Amino acid sequence: MPTSKLPPIKDIKPLVEIPDMSYYLYVGLIVLAVGVLIVALYFLVRRLMGMRRESRARRYLEALHHIDWSDPKRAAYLATKYGRLLATDERRKELFAQLLPHLEKYKYRKEVSPVDEETLRRFELYRNVCDESI
């Protein structure tokens, strides 16, 4: 029988370990996605709150426009309430501070006289400034 010479058997080498970073990539992607989601929610909530504040200011301004000066006491209270809520920047705060002493004459009394022209003029100035800024 012819014997054929087989090549010698080579040793089998152990498996080579390949660094697997898929777990870290998976966790990193999840953290990144959560971070992006939190940032997006922050800006969305901030925008909605800004729109809400703006609409609130518009409602206050609308209330100032509908004040009925035939009842001076009630009108003074309403003008004080909504005027204070709209006084957010320096110019409006200053004008409201000038208007407030004129409105005080019509509050905290049992009987009040009709509203004088100076008070109405200051109120109109304040309301026009609020109109411009909102």
Evaluate whether 95 touches 129 at the Cβ level (below 8 Å).
Answer: yes
pLDDT at position 16: 84
Where on the phi/psi map is residue 47: left (φ > 0), alpha (ψ -120 to 50), or beta? alpha
Cα–Cα nearest to 63, from 81, 46, 45? 81
Question: In 80-107, which positions are buried (b, 16+ CB within 10 angstroms) versus exposed (e)?
Answer: bebbebbbeeeebeebbeebbebbeebb
Task: Give, for all 134 residues of the chain, the pLDDT tens digit.
Answer: 566 787 777 788 888 888 888 999 999 999 999 999 999 999 999 998 888 877 889 999 999 999 999 999 999 999 999 999 999 999 999 999 999 999 999 998 889 999 999 999 999 999 999 999 87
What does DSSP assign to residue 1?
-
**Non-local CB neighbours of 54 within 8 Å, separated by 6+ positions:** 134
pLDDT at position 1: 57
pTM beyond 0.85, yes or no = no
Where on the phi/psi map is residue 110: left (φ > 0), alpha (ψ -120 to 50), or beta? alpha
